[in-house]
Amino acid sequence: MGDRGSTVAWTTVGVMMTFRSPVPVLAMVLGVGFIAGCGSDSSPEAAPVATSSATAPTTESTTPVPPPAPVDACATFVGSLTERQRLAQLLTVGVTGTADAVDIMSTEQVGGIFIGSWTDSSTLAYGQVPQINDAAAVPPMVTIDEEGGRVSRVEDLLGADPSARETARTMTPDETYQMALERGLGLKELGITVDYAPVVDVSGQPDDSVIGDRSYSEDPQQVIAYAGAYAAGLRQAGIQPVIKHFPGHGSGSGDSHTGAVTTPPLEQLRQSDLLPYQALSDTGVGIMVGHLDVPGLTEPGVPASISPAAMTLLREGVGYGAAPFTGPIFTDDLSGMAAITDRLGIVAAVEAALVAGADVALWLTTDDVPAVLDNLEEAVATGRLPAAQVDESAATVARFKGAC
C-alpha cells in the first residue's frame, strides 16, 4: 500500500512504531506541573503596612486545610445504581436481534450486548442500535468479534479485511494502523463500541488451526508491533479494543470451543506469550481471558477464565514484568465453549468468573440473565462475592464505556 500521509509515532515497551495517517491523531501527553515560587521585595526603610482583616499578619499558628478529595465520577455513578443494576453492568450477552436486545435492556439493563454470527443482520444493516440504546438507562457496550480474515461479522457490510497473519505478511504496521482506523470508523457508524480484537496470541501453528492465521506471528515482537498498531487504529476511530486470549492460546493443546486446552507452563509463557500483554496492557485496551489450563498458574480443572491466580497475575502484572492493569477484564464466552461448559453451567460459571476477578462475564444468549442475576444477588448477600469488588468492577466497566 502506498503513502498514507502524515507520520504518527506510537511507542510500546521496547518497540517504536511509526504510523502514517490522513487524519489527526490525538497524542497522549503526560501532564507536567510547574510550581512557581512567590516572593516580595522588602527594605528596612519601607513604611509600615496598614493591616486589615484580609491582610493583617498574625503570629498565631494555623493548620493548613487540605483540599477536598477529588470526586471519582465513576464511583458516584455506581453509587446511583441499585445492587442488581450494578451486577447487571458486569454482564455482556449475545442477542438474536434488535427485539431481543431491547427486551433485555428494558428488563435487566445489562452492561453490554454481543453481536454474533447468529444475530439478525438488520440490527446493524438498518441502523437499529439506537433503539437498543433508547431502551437502556445506561447505554450498553455494543460488542463484536471483528478480527478480519475468517472471524468477521461485518464482511457483508464493510467488505473483507485480511487475517492477522496475512496482514503481517503483506502490510507494514503503518498500513495496519490505517486499515484498523478505517474498519473502526465503519464499525462506529454501525453502532459498535467495543471490538474483541486484535488477537495477540503468539503462534506459528497452521493457518486453519484454532488460532492459526488469527495470530500475526510466532515472533512476539511482531505481534506487539502489528497488534499494537491495530489497537491504536481502533481507538483512534472511537472503538475500544479488547486484546485476547490471556495468558496465551497460541501454543495451546487444542480448541477451547471443543474441550479443555492446556498451554505450556507459565515460565515458558513468560518468555513469549505474555510479552504482548506486558507491552500493550497499559495502552487503554480491555483484555479477554481464555479458558486455558496453565501449569504453574491455574489449579487443575480451573481454567484461567475462572482462576483467581490468573486474574491476579493480569491485574497486578507481578510475575511477568507488566504494569498493573487498570482496564476491564473480560471472560471468553462462558456458555458455548466446552472448556468451560463441561465443568460448569452458566449460572455457576458467571459467579466463578466474577469472584475470581473478572469485570465482565460474556456469554451467548439472554435466556439466563434473570437466573444469573438472582444468583449473583444471593452471592453478594452471603459474602461469596464481595460488594466492594462489584462496585469496583462496575466503575471499571463504566469508565471503559464512557458512562462516567
First to last CA, the chain: 40
Q: Please tell me what DSSP assigns to residue 91.
A: E
- Averaged over successive runs of 10 residues, the pLDDT of the chain (404 residues) comes to 42 39 36 36 40 46 67 89 97 98 97 97 97 95 98 96 98 98 98 98 96 98 98 98 98 92 97 98 97 97 97 96 97 96 97 98 98 98 98 97 92
The rounded distance, in Å, linking the Cα atoms of 164 and 148 is 7
Looking up cell 465513576 gives 74
CA atoms within 13 A on the CB side of 134: 7
The rounded distance, in Å, linking the Cα atoms of 247 and 145 is 19
The rounded distance, in Å, linking the Cα atoms of 141 and 151 is 20
Predicted pLDDT at 47: 42
Show the CA angle centred on residue 397, arms to residues 82 and 252, nearest 5°. Answer: 130
The rounded distance, in Å, linking the Cα atoms of 204 and 215 is 8
323: cell is 504494569
Looking up cell 492465521 gives 213
Pick from 159, 263, 265, 173: nearest CA to 216 = 173
**What positions carry a catalytic annotation?**
257, 332
Predicted pLDDT at 62: 66
Predicted pLDDT at 237: 98
pTM > 0.85: yes or no: no
Residues in Cβ contact with 282 at an 8 Å cutoff, skipping those fewer than 6 apart: 322, 323, 325, 326
In which region does residue 65 sit, left (phi positive, over 0), alpha (psi from -120 to 50) or beta (all else)?
beta
Predicted pLDDT at 64: 73
Cα dihedral across residues 303, 309, 315, 318: positive or negative: negative
In order, the DSSP letters of 181-197 are HHHHHHHHHHT--EE--
Q: Hey, which CATH number is domain 95-401, 3.40.190.10, 1.20.1050.140, 3.20.20.300, 1.10.30.50?
A: 3.20.20.300
The rounded distance, in Å, linking the Cα atoms of 101 and 53 is 64
286: cell is 480491555
The domains of the chain are located at: 95-401
Predicted pLDDT at 69: 60
98: cell is 434488535
